[in-house]
């Protein structure tokens, strides 16, 4: 009961913020921008320092549904299945034996804070896709967290080279509160598209809304286009 209460409050607060933003957007000229989307220092040329409506934070706030699933490395599994030729269930050792990628990228939360230039280490979703071989029918993925969270991403965005399943951030193992042992990051999209405590990735032959997308958040979620809520897609 306690937990449910907390959960409802988190959703209520997010919906209030959404309403406030919608008011603000009515009074703001369109910020639609077709230039390439920034994801990190190398891609930020000609871009303003921060996406519109975002402020810079050095700290790293914790944002989730209020439940932090503590999965030991022994029990941890990553399942990748759906519209793929070769579904897999990876153990921690399997995952760590995959090619490891280091990258520096940005983290934009829809609640308006941005952390810039975060150093990460992890496995590219691209490399995991090469392992499972998506069928030609695959167009989207759904990511599932151990906390029951879900978020959907188009394959076009998901297979960009800086989309990582990270186990290390700021030079240290990813903490439980930030989604450790492994979370996803999708730097070119708002941070809710990156599932913490990632458990399963399902390749799909059609799009389907995840947790926040089902509650009015943008399906596409481009921070550099102020693309926060689905009502602003048109």
Ligand X SMILES: Nc1nc2c(c(=O)[nH]1)N[C@H]1C(S)=C(S)[C@@H](COP(=O)(O)O)O[C@H]1N2
Give the residues lining the site for Mo ion (CB under 5 A): 63, 109-110, 192
- What kind and span of H or E run contains 78? strand 78-82
Q: Under a CB-based contact definition with an 8 Å cutoff, are residues 123 and 100 in contact?
A: yes
Helices (H) and strands (E) in the chain, counts: 4, 11
Q: What are phi and psi of 19, to 5 degrees?
A: -60, -40
Tokens of 49: 């320092």
Residue placing its CB nearer to ligand X in the complex, 134 or 150: 150
CA quadruple 60, 221, 140, 188: dihedral, nearest 10: -60
Q: Output DSSP code: residue 28.
A: S
Rounded distance, CA 194 to CA 210, Å? Answer: 11
**Residue 67 site contact among ligand X, Mo ion, none (CB < 5 to 8 Å, cut-off depends on kind):** none
**Residue 147 site contact among ligand X, Mo ion, none (CB < 5 to 8 Å, cut-off depends on kind):** ligand X
Residue placing its CB nearer to ligand X in the complex, 66 or 87: 66
Residue placing its CB nearer to ligand X in the complex, 52 or 62: 62
Q: Which residue has the tokens 């579904």?
A: 87
Maximum distance among all Cα pairs of the chain, rounded to whole angstroms: 52
**Residue 130 site contact among Mo ion, ligand X, none (CB < 5 to 8 Å, cut-off depends on kind):** none
CB of 168 to Mo ion, least distance (A): 21
**Residue 65 site contact among Mo ion, ligand X, none (CB < 5 to 8 Å, cut-off depends on kind):** ligand X
SS3 category, 213: helix
CB of 10 to ligand X, least distance (A): 8
CB of 150 to ligand X, least distance (A): 8
* Residue ranges in contact with ligand X by CB under 6 A: 60-65, 109, 145, 147, 149, 178-179, 191-192, 194-197
Residue placing its CB nearer to ligand X in the complex, 178 or 225: 178
Residue placing its CB nearer to ligand X in the complex, 69 or 130: 69
């Amino acid at each position: 009961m306690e937990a449910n209460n907390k959960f409802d409050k988190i959703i209520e607060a997010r919906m209030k913020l959404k309403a406030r933003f919608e008011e603000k957007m009515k009074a703001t000229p369109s910020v639609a921008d077709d230039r390439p989307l920034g994801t990190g220092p190398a891609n930020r040329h000609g871009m303003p320092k921060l996406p519109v409506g975002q402020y810079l934070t050095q700290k790293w706030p914790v944002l989730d549904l209020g439940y932090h699933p503590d999965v030991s490395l022994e029990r941890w599994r990553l399942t990748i299945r759906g519209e793929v030729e070769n579904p897999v269930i990876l153990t921690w050792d399997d995952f760590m034996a995959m090619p490891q990628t280091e990258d520096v990228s940005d983290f934009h939360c829809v609640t308006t804070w941005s952390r810039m230039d975060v150093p990460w280490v992890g496995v590219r979703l691209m490399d995991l896709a090469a392992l499972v071989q998506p069928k030609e029918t695959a167009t989207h993925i759904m990511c599932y967290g151990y906390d029951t969270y879900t978020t959907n991403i188009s394959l076009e965005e998901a297979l960009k080279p800086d989309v990582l399943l990270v186990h290390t951030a700021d030079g240290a193992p990813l903490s439980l509160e930030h989604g450790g042992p492994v979370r996803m990051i999708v730097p070119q999209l708002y941070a809710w598209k990156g599932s913490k405590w990632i458990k399963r990735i399902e390749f799909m032959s059609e799009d389907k809304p995840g947790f926040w997308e089902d509650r009015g958040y943008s399906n596409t979620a481009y921070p550099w286009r102020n693309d926060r809520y689905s009502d602003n897609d048109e």
